[in-house]
Structure 1
Amino acid sequence: MELVTVWFIVIAILWTGYLVLEGFDFGVGMLMPIVGRNNRERRVALNTIGPVWDGNEVWLLTAGGATFAAFPEWYATMFSGFYIPLLIILVALIVRAVAIEYRAKINDPKWRTNWDRAIIITAWVPSILWGVAFANLVRGVPLDADHQFIGNLMTLLSPFALLGGAVTLLLFLTHGSVFLALKTDGVVRERAESLAKRFAPITLAVTAVWAIWAQLAYSEVTWTWIPLACAAVSLVLVWWFTVKGRSGRAFAANAVAIAAAVVLIFGSMFPDVMPASNDPANSLTVYNASSTDYTLTVMSWVAVFLVPVILLYQSWTYWVFRKRISVHDIPEHNELTFSKD
């Protein structure tokens, strides 16, 4: 297998890791005001991701860095063409990090309410925009002969792309709800399980519509029907396992659904990395967008030695913080009523 193909697969794996792990972070953030009716309950939700959310973002940095090193032309065109959506995502991630760290610094209801709103908003925005971005990679964008983006913001907001945003939004809401059901106990867990049962069928329906649209309109290969079917079966299992109270299996099934969606997206693109919707000859491919073989070889050796270390460390982190959390673990003196004013 050629190194350019290997690194295309590696980047797909890195995005899978990011979307699976950061997906439940976003889901928890969006669901905070629903599963948490007071400060202690919201603290329970937030504490489930407290030890891991910043580590999960490392996958995004790694995916971006790998794209820059392995496919610099792809990186340049994508980040310049998608500048505004990616800038909004970046700002949201920065504000979210500040909000998570600062919300407990002052024991004041208004202070915490404002930071909670920031966490909620900065979870909703990237959840939608990531789907819009990936949908545009599947659909293709207008490129000139120099592989430069020649569209505008409205070009990126097509019905297909907006439906893609709805897909990632619903996948992350489902992911967050089953994660909360897995990691919490008591009333927060009950609310999370109830939400998961409601989200799973809706997520299945919307994802199926988008995926079939992508297959029929923008994919030239037939094997990508396999990850589509896998995603559909997985989302059915999410609902089934949630009904049966098997939160761990429901979480694993939703992770498989997200992974299958990434396989569908990258499989539909290959060998393109940025299809040109106006003229296929202008498309960026793994061949005309890649670095030299020497660069890819050095990157491969670095990845062989470093990636296992990172995976072991992150696995150890999840193992250490594997226990469930309930309101009984939150001190009563921090109890504050959620203000909607």
Structure 2
Amino acid sequence: MMNILDFYSTAQKRDELKRILEVAAQNHPDGLPDFFFEKDLWVTEILRLLYDENFLGEYAVAFKGGTALSKCWGIIDRFSEDIDLSIHWADLAEVDDESVAWEQSTKSRSQRDKFRSQQSQRLTEWSSQLVEKLNQRFESYNIEGLGAELVVDSHGEEVNIYFPKVAEGEGVYHLEHVLLEFGGRNRGLPTKEHEIKCYMADVEALGALNFPHATVQAYEPSYILWEKLTALHQFSTMDKEPDTYRLARHWYDVDRILQKGMVDFQNTKQAMIDVVEMKKQRWAEKGVDYEAALRGEIKLIPSAERLSGIASDHEAAVDGRMFYIHRQPDSFEKIINRIYLAQGKINKDIMAWARDSFR
């Protein structure tokens, strides 16, 4: 079987690849465009290098975000083009006693600032070494234009992977490269192992080709849920107006997680406690009280004025073909109405947890 990535080797082969991508677009049941299939090839291949070829090293690193929701659980029907990875903070800091290190790094604002600065330096060094290793590995592919680059001034948090595109993307919503986003102040645990594959592998007409596949460590679902819920709480209550570009997806994702029953909410109490404490200590934001969640006062819907801008972003995402052609999302109004109802139920359940703890 011929490896799909071998079609990048010559101009003639790239023409063949273009036709293969068109066949995939014509035959995939979800109506995915050719440029998405091409990018997904590289998303999956990069994940294979990171996990299967152990480019991440010995650190615990959790695969999360929208790409994990789509590739590991099939929860969302939108194009998530980046690879969101969280390095376990204690591994990156190379501490001997995690609990002691946590207490030391969170006991005062000055200690929190010191920790943040040190982790930023560590992450920059680690990401720089990763870029070097990736580029050395890419040389063996013999594909002109394939390379990794650390984003300047990203403090090690962003790495771009460039590849010679055969299919042309559409609109401002589609990045023309693969973006790796790393976090060094959060958890990289707990995780669950998942087998992932390329979307093109589902097209029967392409069964004679070999596609990338990977075994990843995905963030535990209850932690994904609470990171998403606390993100909505942050965007809804922060004093500073959030940048609404690419923001509406967070409400869509939460709605899908809850609608699909990705996790039993009654089993998420510990994740709630852990995520709230992490957000409070490492991502403090003016106007945001993360501990409101622990009191059954989480707010998932912002003011009408703020919500209007987010709704416009949702429409822009739809117009930009960020959702699967045959699985278009509900209107933003319907999504918000469901989340409003979910907010009441979530807060009611949390208050019941609090009452039970005092019995």
TM norm structure 2 = 0.27
TM norm structure 1 = 0.28
More strand by share: 2
